[in-house]
Amino acid sequence: MQTAEIADRIAWAVDGLEVEIPTWGFVNTGTRFRVFPQAGVPRDVTEKLEDAGAVARYTGVAKRVAIHIPWDRTDDWGALRATAAGHGLAIGAVNSNTFQDEAYRLGSLCSPFPASRRMAVEHIVECCAIVAATGSDVLKVWLADGTNYPGQDDLRDRRRRLVETLTEVYAALPPGARLVLEYKLFEPSFYATDVADWGQALSVVRRLGERASVCVDIGHHAPSVNIEQIVASLLAEGRLGAFDLNDKQYGDDDLIVGSIDPYRLFRICHEMVGALRDDEDPAAQRCARETVWMLDQCHNLEPKLPAIIRSVMNLQEAVAKALLVDRDALLAAQRAGDILGGNAILADAYATDVRPALAELRTARGLPASPFRAYLASGEEERRATARVGGNAASW
């Protein structure tokens, strides 16, 4: 297949894909033992938006930025929205934080203490107001709630509290906004996590209403879990709301997207592209169109801004390869029971080098052929480090 033909088939990876980037991906982060500072990291939310704007300029597809409350709190949400627009950005998901206050020691929405639950509900309801004020349309909830020991709390009571509190939050959603509930296998709770897997998350959002769905974080699963099957199941249910895209070797490593297992990323993208193309399943197609593709990486060593650009490019390559899958031939092989034929169609698409075609598509649209190399050659990294001396760098 010639580069021009490949480019024609994968153009959506440059023209249609929308990638959301997180403000916390630009700040000082670390391991459980130490945070490692870097030169030039943002000192406030305005500088985070400046960095996000740079990613948008170089990639052309990362034009939504997720914020985290209270990390990105400001006195003027309208001004924040205007600042984002000045960098070519829109505010994406508003992420709540109910895991860094002393009151949440035994949980937030699931806590045995009514005062802690009330505090958490009021915080997330405030995030609903921020959704409206910033022009966002997504509220994202992740809970660190759980228990460390058998007998510590009643597990059914914790679920009842979760449903009751989230029902109150759901009622506060602005018109047209959606709630996405994120799950995680373990950590920081090591005996029972209150929203530990996609089934638990799905059962809860079904109790809330049609505007509630599930967020899939690639790093929040056991190592051998078939994540693309989870994606397919949630698409079939019309309840896939968002991705937190990253990569991992062991647990929630938050590494650069596609850096450890790019074939898994391709398989996930294949399920998404298949749903987008499936005119016979309009519910799954609509769900795929509305799903937020967000990067969730905040590791400790790599330079932040070029790492995020690298993730965007890796995601584009995976999506492009998924777009090359001959869907008609694949369906024919599957319906004929042709095991190796179906597998070969996926393997051939994955083996295709889409980088030259992506480079041509970017160049035709006035973007650098390689956003990563262009950013590193621009001198912006060094200018940021020089300009951002003094003050307190943003961190965990």
Kindly provide the b/e burial profile for residues 273-304, where b requires at least 16 CB atoms within 10 angstroms of the residue's own CB: bbbbeeeebeebbebbeebbbbbbbbbeeeeb
- The values of phi and psi at residue 245, to 5°, are -95, 130
pLDDT tier for residue 298 given thresholds of 50, 70 and 90:
confident
> What is the distance between the alpha carbons of residues 278 and 381, in angstroms, rounded to a whole number?
42
**Total residues belonging to the chain:** 396
Q: Tell me how far CA of residue 105 lies from CA of 121, 140, 147, in angstroms.
A: 16, 21, 10
Q: Tell me which architecture the domain covering 3-387 has in CATH.
A: Alpha-Beta Barrel (3.20)
Q: Six-digit token pair at 46? A: 């305005």
> What is the distance between the alpha carbons of residues 264 and 227, in angstroms, rounded to a whole number?
8
- What three-state secondary structure class fits 381? helix
Q: Tell me how far CA of residue 328 lies from CA of 9, 13, 272, 278, in angstroms.
A: 14, 20, 16, 11
**Distant-in-sequence, close-in-space partners of 21: CB < 8 Å, separation ≥ 6:** 52, 55, 62, 64, 65, 66, 294, 295, 308, 312
The DSSP output letter for 247 is: B
Spell out the alpha helix ranges (H) of the chain: 3-10, 12-15, 45-59, 77-86, 114-134, 155-171, 198-208, 227-237, 262-277, 282-290, 304-323, 327-335, 339-351, 355-364, 371-378, 380-387
Q: Six-digit token pair at 22? A: 């997180």
- The values of phi and psi at residue 206, to 5°, are -65, -30
Q: Six-digit token pair at 240? A: 């896939």
Strand partners, 142: 182
CA-nearest of 29, 56, 33, 30 to 42 is 29
Q: Do 49 and 79 meet the contact criterion of CB atoms below 8 Å apart?
A: no
Per-residue pLDDT at 31: 76
Q: Is the pLDDT assigned to residue 285 strictly greater than 80?
A: yes
Side chain identity at residue 6, one-letter code: I
**Distant-in-sequence, close-in-space partners of 188: CB < 8 Å, separation ≥ 6:** 99, 144, 146
Q: For 182-223, what is each residue's pLDDT tens digit?
A: 999 999 999 999 999 999 999 999 999 999 999 999 999 999
Q: For 239-255, what is each residue's pLDDT tens digit?
A: 999 999 999 999 888 99
Q: Is the pLDDT assigned to residue 52 strictly greater than 90?
A: yes
Q: For 344-394, what is each residue's pLDDT tens digit?
A: 999 999 999 999 999 999 999 999 999 999 999 999 999 999 999 998 888
Side chain identity at residue 351, one-letter code: A
Q: Is the pLDDT assigned to residue 46 strictly greater than 80?
A: yes
- The values of phi and psi at residue 368, to 5°, are -65, 145
Q: Is the pLDDT assigned to residue 40 strictly greater than 80?
A: yes
Using DSSP bridges, classify how beta strands 192-193 and 146-147 pair: parallel, antiparallel or unpaired.
antiparallel
Per-residue pLDDT at 29: 86
> What is the distance between the alpha carbons of residues 265 and 246, in angstroms, rounded to a whole number?
9
